[in-house]
């Protein structure tokens, strides 16, 4: 591949220049850039930028890859960078990596640049291109999906943390014959980012919910219904919250916080687990903090979520399970329109190695009852 300028819709990929150094230094010293590129020097200075421009960027071209500045076509100002690395010439494959400067985020320039570089690489003889994205970086996941890269799973221990430990990353790939259209998402975004009936609001779980979520998941009677029934440690809770948005983008599950609309206080959670896409079946589960019980929040949450599911996804059947001793949860499901369909003996792990029976409930679109 040659360091030629690539003009694309809304974006320009061009070779770097020394006068990009100030913008590179400002962008690479940004907390979000530092978070997801933890091996960058901290603080990142203009001298670091100049050293990279004169040594790091040319090294990519020498190894058969590429390193471009993402620039504004109108002003030529640097908006970010994009490169092609880990080139395997025998397999005609490489890995695309990118970052956007703070002043360019949310404008689609990185997605446009990823599409442009992919098309250029395919024309140059590459057959397979990968993007590796941190599970805690939903912006990067969105870019990969929007640029036509299909999710392929996880690569364990593929990236470094700042302390030298390693972390898993999500893998996306696009082949030369792929259409390049945005990947269809099984679980779209919520309208206006939330669901509400005026009494209860559901919003996506996020990194800022770790304290609340740890309290919720450490509540004894909620722990007893976990699979397995153990208290998750704080690190696990933080990972769940950090990765929740990416798992939603990938269509695996949607985790939502129940919020008391009157006070704004988080009251519980409800999750949608898309465990059977081929059959159009998904499962819900919910729990509420003791201080908010008896106010119908679980019923409202189930109704709100089910209505969105049936209106905006390909899911045609929702299931849920209850402990036979949990009469309150059974009442919640019945009031939302779920019908009891079966009794599954010793289905779930219980405390101290025991087993728990499970009652199976199911909801079809025509069964749903509106919240009053």
Is the pLDDT at 354 greater than 90? The verdict is: no
Each residue of 89-98: pLDDT tens digit? Answer: 999 999 999 9
Is residue 219 packed enough to be buried (19+ CB in 10 Å), middle (13-18) or exposed (0-12)? middle
146 — pLDDT class (breaks 50, 70, 90): very high
230 — pLDDT class (breaks 50, 70, 90): confident
CB neighbours of 51 closer than 8 A, spacing ≥ 6? none
Q: In the chain, helix, strand, coil percent, each to 5?
A: 35, 30, 30
Answer whether the bond into residue 142 is a cis peptide, omega within 30°: no
What is the spatial distance between Cα 150 and Cα 172, in angstroms, rounded to a whole number?
A: 5
Mean predicted confidence (pLDDT) in 28-49: 95
Instruction: Compute φ and ψ for 264, nearest 5 degrees.
Output: 80, 5
CATH fit for domain 6-175, picks 3.30.70.141, 3.40.630.30, 1.20.210.10, 3.40.50.1000? 3.40.630.30
More confident residue, 135 or 2: 135
Rg (the chain; Cα; Å): 24
- H/E stretch holding 203 reads strand 200-204
Least confident range from 79-83, 257-261, 326-330: namely: 326-330
Mean predicted confidence (pLDDT) in 235-249: 96
Least confident range from 96-100, 116-120, 219-223, 260-264: namely: 219-223
Is the pLDDT at 87 greater than 90? The verdict is: yes
pTM (predicted TM-score): 0.92
Contacts of 324-329 with CB under 8 Å at 24 or more apart are 324/357, 324/358, 324/359, 326/225, 328/293, 329/298
Mean predicted confidence (pLDDT) in 143-158: 96
Is the pLDDT at 372 greater than 70? The verdict is: no
Each residue of 302-327: pLDDT tens digit? Answer: 999 999 999 999 999 999 999 998 89
Each residue of 103-124: pLDDT tens digit? Answer: 999 999 999 999 999 999 999 9
Domain ranges for the chain, please list them: 6-175, 191-367
CATH fit for domain 191-367, picks 3.40.50.1100, 3.90.1170.50, 3.40.630.30, 3.20.20.70? 3.40.630.30
Each residue of 165-204: pLDDT tens digit? Answer: 999 999 999 999 999 999 999 999 999 999 999 999 999 9
Q: Assess whether the region 6-175 and the region 191-367 belong to the same CATH fold.
A: yes
Give SS3 for 238.
Answer: helix
Bridge partner residues of 203 (DSSP): 257
**For the chain, how long is the longest CA-to-CA vector?**
70
Q: How many percent of the chain have pLDDT more than 90?
A: 87
């Amino acid at each position: 591949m040659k360091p030629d300028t690539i003009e694309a819709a809304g974006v320009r990929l061009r070779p770097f220049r020394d006068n990009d150094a100030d913008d590179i230094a400002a962008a690479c010293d940004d907390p979000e850039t530092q978070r997801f590129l933890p091996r960058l020097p901290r603080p990142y200075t203009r001298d670091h930028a100049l050293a990279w421009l004169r040594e790091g960027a040319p090294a990519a071209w020498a190894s058969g890859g590429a390193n471009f500045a993402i620039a504004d076509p109108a002003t030529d100002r640097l908006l970010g960078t994009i490169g092609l690395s880990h080139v395997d010439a025998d397999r005609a494959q490489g890995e695309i990596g990118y970052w956007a400067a703070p002043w360019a985020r949310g404008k689609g320039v990185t997605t446009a640049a990823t599409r442009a570089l992919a098309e250029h690489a395919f024309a140059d003889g590459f057959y397979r291109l990968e993007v590796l994205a941190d599970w805690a970086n939903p912006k990067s996941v969105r870019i990969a999906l929007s640029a036509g890269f299909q999710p392929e799973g996880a690569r364990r221990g593929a990236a470094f943390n700042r302390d030298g430990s390693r972390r898993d990353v999500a893998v996306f790939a696009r082949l030369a014959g792929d259409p390049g259209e945005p990947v269809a998402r099984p679980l779209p975004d919520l309208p206006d980012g939330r669901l509400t009936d005026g009494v209860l609001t559901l919003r996506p779980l996020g990194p800022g919910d770790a304290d609340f979520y740890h309290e919720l998941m450490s509540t004894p009677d909620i722990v007893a219904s976990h699979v397995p029934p153990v208290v998750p440690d704080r690190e696990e809770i933080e990972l769940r919250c950090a990765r929740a948005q990416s798992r939603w983008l990938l269509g695996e599950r949607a985790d939502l916080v129940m919020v008391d609309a009157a006070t704004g206080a988080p009251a519980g959670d409800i999750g949608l687990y898309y465990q059977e896409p081929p059959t159009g079946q998904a499962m819900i589960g919910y729990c509420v903090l003791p201080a908010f019980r008896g106010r119908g929040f679980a019923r409202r949450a189930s109704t709100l979520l089910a209505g969105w599911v049936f209106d905006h996804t390909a899911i045609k059947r929702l299931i849920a399970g209850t402990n036979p001793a949990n009469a309150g949860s059974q009442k919640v499901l019945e009031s939302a329109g779920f019908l009891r369909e079966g009794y599954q003996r010793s289905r779930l792990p219980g405390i101290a190695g025991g087993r728990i029976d499970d009652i199976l409930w199911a909801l079809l679109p025509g069964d749903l009852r509106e919240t009053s």
